[in-house]
Amino acid sequence: MVSVRRYLHQHPELSFEEKETPAMIAAFYRELGVEVKTGVGGNGVTALIKGGNPGKRIALRADFDALPIQDEKDVPYKSTVPNKMHACGHDGHTSTLLHLAKALHAIREDLPGEYVMIHQHAEEYAPGGAKPMIEDGCLEGVDAVFGTHLWATEPTGKIQYRTGPIMAAADRFEIKIQGAGGHGAQPHKTKDALVTGAQLVTALQQVVSRKVNPIDSAVVTVGSFVADNAFNVIADSAKLIGTARTFNPEVRDLVEKEIGRITQGICLAADCTFDYTYFRGYPAVVNHAAETDYLVEQARHISDVKEIEEAEAQMGGEDFAYYLEHKPGTFFFTGAKAPHVEKPYPHHHPKFDFDEKAMLIAAKTLGASALNYHN
């Protein structure tokens, strides 16, 4: 597991650019003699392990894309590709699933049912790889689907679960403001797009604080505000880019509507025009109750699992959501805090790393869930 994970870590590939990674995954299965399909929904790979006895068909999923981040760790397995890095643990997810599949294949004659190994591309960048893989049939005949995320901010040995929403819908919005630029000494002859944008950044804070029910959760963040000019020029145009995170579909609709309404009002007051686009990303990850309870029960019987905890809902996004819209299942976190680190670097950080022992815990938990679901 460690060897394969480190190889992948040294050779990262970005979303929708994956070529060598799926080829390596397919070669791994072919060497085992396992039925494998490539090019599933784009760059995805699926493998099918058939048990020797009747039973259900269980799907297990791991993602394998990297991020456009420069690896700043001082380790022997540091990324060899400039500005590309596995900064979220997908290399670990992939090695976990490959070696779980190898173990299942070794005892296949004694197993009930069938096991679909879903190796998914492009989780990090919407529209993602899950949806096209599903459309290409990766969930055909599947009775349940399970997935985990190595969670580097929690101790190794901890399993975190949650029934219902566990990760948020992740959307993006862009607002382009068009004013009338001019000389900084003659503001009365202009329509200041920068000032209008600044008012809009402030006003958008009211979407969550004054429009969303406090019982619900939502985030509206403006992450980029560009109105680049010389010091003595009033901006002709400005562009704001941000993200919205929600769990409730009705709140999601409300946030999209309110951002547009506030933008319209601010720009009208400033006599500026605007272009507002709201891009819907992944829906919320909503775990099924029966499968989540079942997962918790399986985790209790794994000796390496020292703690099982109900997780707080996370505002991060995950396209595992699409699998759960089609099939019963659950998505959980496997603690993977890097050893000898008091304060671990967060996911998507240039120095991100995780405890490789957590891969074995993830494999055992996923494996137990897959094997015992037939009972």
Could you list the mean pLDDT of each consecutive 10-residue stretch along the chain, which spans 375 residues? 98 98 98 98 98 97 98 97 98 98 98 98 97 98 98 97 98 98 97 98 98 97 97 98 98 98 98 98 98 98 97 96 98 93 93 98 98 90
CB atoms inside a 10 Å sphere around CB 78: 14
Output the pTM of the full model. Answer: 0.94
**What's residue 234's pLDDT?**
98
Alpha-carbon torsion (160, 155, 116, 20), positive or negative = positive
**What's residue 338's pLDDT?**
86
The residues, any chain, with a CB within 8 Å of residue 61's CB and separated by 6 or more, are 97, 118, 119, 120, 130, 145, 146, 147, 320, 323
Q: Which residue out of 18, 63, 65, 124 is catalytically annotated?
A: 65
CB atoms inside a 10 Å sphere around CB 350: 13
- Is residue 65 part of the annotated active site? The answer reads yes
Give whole-number Cα distances, 346 to 1, 6, 83, 88, 341, in Å: 22, 19, 18, 9, 12
**What's residue 172's pLDDT?**
98
Q: Which residue has the tokens 């505002």?
A: 315
Q: Which residue out of 13, 123, 124, 258 is catalytically annotated?
A: 123
**What's residue 265's pLDDT?**
98
**What's residue 375's pLDDT?**
78
